[in-house]
């Protein structure tokens, strides 16, 4: 919402008067004077006019979960347990998932109530690297390396994935880096080269790495540096 609208609606004044207050330097956003009426201000920012608070910041939550197998990346399901059930009830309100994992997959899962932040983390055009450790049914071939580096054509979306990288850890184990995070992307890429993933574990998204001290089902808040990296 634009700052002028917040000041007008919550300070009981006209939009013209709100603009004048802002231009005069009498409005602060998160402790700093803001003179731009068109400044977009979300619910996580505090707004003060002449020393009086007109918007109290809503607490933003950024959480890292070591997702165990068997949980849906969803907030509600009638059949299966969801990852939201792993969190204390007082943290659950408003949380959504930034980059889902399917029920059988494990590893790094990010949950937040900040939609703008999570969109920056998951938007395919931003090309945030996402790293997975995978086990495959068959040996990983040289053809798989080549086709991943070229990008795989997805018929349903009518697009080619960004180049991806395979680092072999064994005949049927690898660390895979992709830069989009489309629906079941890693599994579909291996399917396209005639192989099948039997286990998938996400290690990192951008500069956010799964904390090695977290056991499956455990979580912690992101650090300031991790939040700022997105």
Domain extent at residue 218 = 62-228
How confident is the model at residue 223, as a pLDDT?
Answer: 97
Query: Helix, strand, or coil here: 150?
Result: helix
| Percent of all residues in the chain with a pLDDT value above 70, rounded to a whole number | 100
Does 193 lie in the same domain as 128? Answer: yes
Report the C-alpha gap between 221 and 215 in whole angstroms.
Answer: 15
Decide if pLDDT at 22 tops 80: yes
Does 129 lie in the same domain as 40? Answer: no
pTM attached to this predicted model? 0.86
Does 48 lie in the same domain as 67? Answer: no
Q: Under 8 Å CB-to-CB from 50, ≥6 apart: which residues?
A: 21, 26
| Cβ 112 vs Cβ 60: under 8 Å | yes
Annotated catalytic residue 42: no
Does 135 lie in the same domain as 205? Answer: yes
pLDDT in tens, 138-164: 999 999 999 999 999 998 889 999 999
Decide if pLDDT at 78 tops 90: no
For residue 39, what are its two tokens? 């400044």
Indicate the number of domains in the chain. Answer: 2
State mean pLDDT over 188-208.
Answer: 97
Q: How many residues does the chain have?
A: 230
The CATH number covering residue 220 comes to 3.30.2350.10
Q: Which residue has the tokens 């201000």?
A: 41
The band of 124, judged by pLDDT with boundaries at 50, 70 and 90, is confident
The CATH number covering residue 30 comes to 3.10.290.10
How confident is the model at residue 188, as a pLDDT?
Answer: 95
Does 91 lie in the same domain as 15? Answer: no
Does 46 lie in the same domain as 23? Answer: yes
pLDDT in tens, 171-181: 999 999 999 98
Does 117 lie in the same domain as 45? Answer: no
Catalytic residue among 42, 102, 114, 211: 102
Does 171 lie in the same domain as 212? Answer: yes
């Amino acid at each position: 919402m634009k700052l002028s609208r917040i000041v007008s609606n919550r300070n009981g004044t006209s939009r013209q008067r709100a603009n004048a207050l802002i231009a005069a330097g009498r409005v602060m956003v998160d402790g700093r004077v803001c003179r731009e009426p068109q400044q977009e201000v979300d619910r996580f920012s505090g707004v003060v006019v002449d020393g009086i608070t007109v918007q109290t910041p809503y607490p933003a939550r950024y959480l890292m979960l070591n997702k165990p197998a068997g949980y849906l990346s969803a907030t509600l399901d009638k059949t299966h347990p969801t990852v939201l059930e792993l969190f204390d009830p007082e943290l659950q309100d408003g949380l959504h998932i930034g980059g889902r994992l399917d029920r059988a997959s494990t590893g790094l899962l990010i949950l937040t109530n900040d939609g703008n932040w999570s969109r920056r983390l998951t938007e395919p055009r931003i090309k945030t690297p996402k790293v997975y450790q995978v086990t495959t049914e068959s040996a990983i071939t040289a053809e798989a390396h080549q086709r991943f580096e070229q990008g795989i054509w997805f018929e349903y979306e009518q697009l080619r994935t960004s180049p991806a990288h395979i680092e072999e850890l064994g005949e049927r184990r690898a660390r895979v880096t992709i830069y989009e995070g489309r629906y079941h992307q890693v599994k579909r890429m291996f399917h396209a080269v005639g192989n099948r993933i039997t286990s998938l574990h996400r290690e990192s998204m951008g500069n956010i790495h799964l904390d090695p001290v977290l056991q499956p089902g455990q979580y912690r808040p992101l650090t300031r540096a991790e939040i700022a990296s997105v």
